[in-house]
Amino acid sequence: MRDFISKTDKLNFVEPSLRKQYLKSLYFKLLVGLLFFLSILIVSIISIKTGSINISIVEIYRAFFTETENSYVIWNLRFTRVVAAILAGASLGVTGAVMQNVLRNPLASPFTLGVSQGAAFGAAFAIIVFGAGQTHYYGNEAVTVFNRYLIIISALVGALLTVILILFLSFLRNITPEAIILAGVAISSLFGAATMFLQYFASDFQVAATVFWTFGDLGKAGWVENKLMFIALSFSLIFFFLNRWNYNALLWGDEVAESLGVNTKFLRISSMFMSAFVVSVCTSFLGIIGFIGLISPHIVRIIVGNDYRFLIPYSALCGATILCISDLISRTIIAPEIIPVGIVTSLAGAPVFFYLLLKWRRI
Amino acid sequence: MLKVESLSVGYGEREVLKELNIEFKKGFIYSILGPNGSGKSTFLRVIDKILKPNNGTIYLNGKSIKSFSASQISKIIAYLPQRIDILPFCKVLDAVFLGRKPHISFEPTSFDLEIVLETINKFGLSKFAFRNINELSGGEFQKVLIARAFAQKPEVLLLDEPVNHLDPKNQIEILKLIRKLTKDNNILTIIVLHDINLAIQFSDYFVLMKNGRIFKFGDLTVIDSDTIKEVYEIDVEILEYNGRKLVLF
């Protein structure tokens, strides 16, 4: 076998420069990752600094080691928020990259399987039927008490229900990616209608609560939620990263992938399950945060190309960066009011996406 | 090296391949000829274990391919399907690199890189190495696909109509290259071709298929006007010139 390699062509022998160029492109891609890391770090620091109380960088640094004046604000308000943004952004970004691959569709996102509508239905069910958002009247004053964990668990069940339905369908009939997408659309509309049905019979307060729940809001996260999101994200990131060459092969279609030793059916189903699970966890904790899962992989693709060795970690980093920036905007743009971050990502994401489409036309 | 014993394959009820028996040897090019729907592509898919046979066994180096895992097969057999459904945006070099996938356990080694660069060089693709594959001409693109299969360092190479839609220059160039690499590396190459004259020029053996059966198998002597008439249902004349055969339609 070795002689095939050692025999060199006399024509067009440009091999040494090729190797150099290859290494150069590799270094460039690694540099991009470093820049993503740095931007997350910088935005996080700005985010922790900024707010109704301004905190100096020195104090943030000190707060990691000792008790300071604003320790509580840093640790329990700002830092939790930033960590939630990084975890949720990374989850949405990486699952977007994976879903676009296994469903062979550039418009696929973590919500393609109907996770968001499922979660919204679950939350509405908890609020309206289980009375998780009950309103008590004291004279003229009304106080709404939310049973947060009941809502979270119910949303998670709703989200996973859609996924299991679709995965069961695709496992049973071995249906094509196109059919899976259509099934996702159908199930989304089914759960959307079910949510509206519940809302129709609910009180004004309950309807408002269910609508408000759907706005993705990082303020809902605490350390418990962050820990759970971290665990879910870590598992899926490892799984996705180990399959990076399989995703690269799948880019060429099922037949090529199978001839390269990929079990396409298993890869597709397990990837969809992993993606949907991670996103279900994020969505049931925080609400629906749109657009990040769709846009992050495309941004990374434009910068480093369609190579899942880089797309997987970088889509996660890109998603985290975007969500951190969006969160900063949502907290500062009409301060002291905080807009739910889901509104910012969708409002700002759409124009950015149009710009990318027009500029590169390669998506 | 590759032996097929009473192989039958079907999609659902319909039987596509019936009772195939054939043995392929290393270092030669076999052309599979036959009309559309005669089971040529299916035959390649079964050999690559993408499809499972209903009956019969395929032996690879004396062992049934049932005992090989998909990843073991991919180290030995490279397969280029007739159509690539979707085109990813990627660079030529990345496309050829994919051929190393079966051999990469975690990340490519410098040995993998060496093979990829050599293959790119062999196929005259150095100029295009960092170009996006969707910017290539049909001939260049086809070369990239075959280069990917070669980068796999297979012992068996299965090519399904690799020179369709190409101009004569590219057809000849690619088939010459395939022949050279087959001989240099002593591998087994099985090609599905539609052009009988190209097949005659570049292959050592001919497998003529009709209705899912092997109609005839052998060297150049099996190519005669009666056989072609029987297989393709067309009248042809065969000229001999300097010991070479030419089929006139």
Residues on chain A touching B93 (C-beta within 8 angstroms): 18, 22
The pLDDT value recorded for residue A305 is 86
Q: What percent of chain B has pLDDT over 90?
A: 58
Domain count for chain B: 1
Stretch among A137-141, A204-208, B86-90, B162-166 having the lowest mean pLDDT = A137-141
Cβ atoms of A17 and A298 within 8 Å: the answer is no
As a whole number, mean pLDDT of residues A83-87 equals 95
What residues of chain B, 205 to 244, have a C-beta less than 8 Å from chain A?
A: none
Q: Which of A8, A178, A247, A252 to mutate to test the interface with B (most CBs of B within 10 A)?
A: A252
Percent of chain A with pLDDT over 70: 90
Q: What is the pLDDT of residue A362?
A: 53
User: Is 80 exceeded by the pLDDT of residue A5?
Assistant: no
Mean pLDDT score, A57-66: 80
Residue B104 falls inside a structural domain: no
Band (pLDDT 50/70/90 cuts) for residue A11 is very low
C-alpha angle B204/B115/B69, rounded to 5°?
Answer: 70
Of A5, A249, A254, the CB nearest to B101: A249
Residue A6's pLDDT band, with cuts at 50, 70 and 90, is: very low
- What percent of chain B has a predicted confidence (pLDDT) above 70? 99
* A18·B70 Cβ contact <8 A: no
pLDDT bin (cut points 50, 70, 90) of residue A217 is: confident
Sign of CA dihedral B62, B63, B69, B70: positive
Q: What is the mean pLDDT of residues B47-76?
A: 92
Residue B24: inside a domain: yes
- In 3-state terms, what secondary structure has residue B172? helix
Helix pair A148-173, A177-200: axis angle to 10 deg: 150
| Cα–Cα distance measured from residue A250 to residue B93, given in angstroms and rounded to the nearest whole number | 17
pLDDT category at B204 given cuts 50, 70, 90 is very high
Beta-carbon separation of A4 and B185 below 8 A: yes
Report how far Cα B61 is from the mean position of its chain's Cα atoms. Answer: 18
A245 vs B contacts (CB less than 8 Å): 101, 104
pLDDT digits 0-9 by tens, A238-248 = 999 999 999 99
Pick the closest to residue B104 from B151, B68, B142 (CA basis). B151
A143 touches chain B (CB under 8 A): no
pLDDT score recorded for residue B10: 87
Determine the structural domain holding residue B66 and report its residue range.
2-85+153-248
How far, CA to CA in Å, does B161 sit from each of A199, A269, B41, B186?
59, 32, 9, 21
Distance, in angstroms, between A197 CA and closest chain B CA? 41
Other Cβ atoms less than 10 A from the Cβ of B4: the count is 20
Least confident piece of the model among A15-19, A190-194, A216-220: A15-19
Tell me the pTM: 0.89
pLDDT at A39: 95
Nearest CA in chain B to A304: B90
Q: Is residue B216 part of a domain?
A: yes
Please give the pLDDT value at position A150: 87
Interface membership of B106 toward A (CB under 8 Å): no
Residues 6+ apart with CB under 8 A from A177: A102, A103, A104, A105, A268
Instruction: For residue A141, give the DSSP letter.
Output: E
Residue of B nearest to A13 (CA): B121
Here the ipTM equals: 0.92
Classify residue A224 by burial, with Cβ atoms within 10 Å: 0-12, 13-18, 19+: exposed
Average pLDDT, rounded, for chain A: 85
Q: What pLDDT does residue A342 have?
A: 87
A50: confidence class by pLDDT, cuts 50, 70, 90: confident
What's the one-letter identity of residue B157?
L
| CB within 8 Å: B71 and A261 | yes
The answer as to whether B107 is a domain residue is: no
Q: Is the confidence at residue A101, as pLDDT, over 90?
A: yes
Identify whether B93 is part of a domain.
no
pLDDT in tens, A176-198: 888 888 888 889 999 999 999 99
Q: Copy the structure tokens of residue A119.
A: 């979660």
Placement of tokens 């050279």 in the chain: B180
Name the pLDDT band for A8 (thresholds 50, 70, 90): very low
Q: Are strands B244-248 and B237-241 parallel, antiparallel or unpaired?
A: antiparallel
Q: What is the pLDDT of residue A10?
A: 41
Give the per-residue pLDDT at A2.
37
Q: Residues of B with CB below 8 A from A1's CB? A: 153, 185
Within-domain flag for B116: no
Is B143 part of any domain?
A: no
How close does chain B come to A79, measured CA to CA in Å? 35
DSSP B187-233: -EEEEE-S-HHHHHHH-SEEEEEETTEEEEEESGGG--HHHHHHHH-
Taking 70 as the threshold, does the pLDDT of residue B94 lie above it?
yes
pLDDT recorded at residue A107: 84
Under the phi-then-psi rule, with left for phi > 0, alpha for psi from -120 to 50, and beta for the rest, what region is B19?
left
What CATH homologous superfamily does A29-360 map to?
ABC transporter involved in vitamin B12 uptake, BtuC (1.10.3470.10)
- In the three-class reduction of DSSP (H, G, I as helix; E, B as strand; rest coil), residue B132 is classed as strand
| The pLDDT of residue A91 | 96
Q: What is the CATH number of the domain that holds B49?
A: 3.40.50.300
- Can you state the angle between helices A223-242 and A308-332, rounded to 10 degrees? 160
Average pLDDT value for residue range A206-228: 86
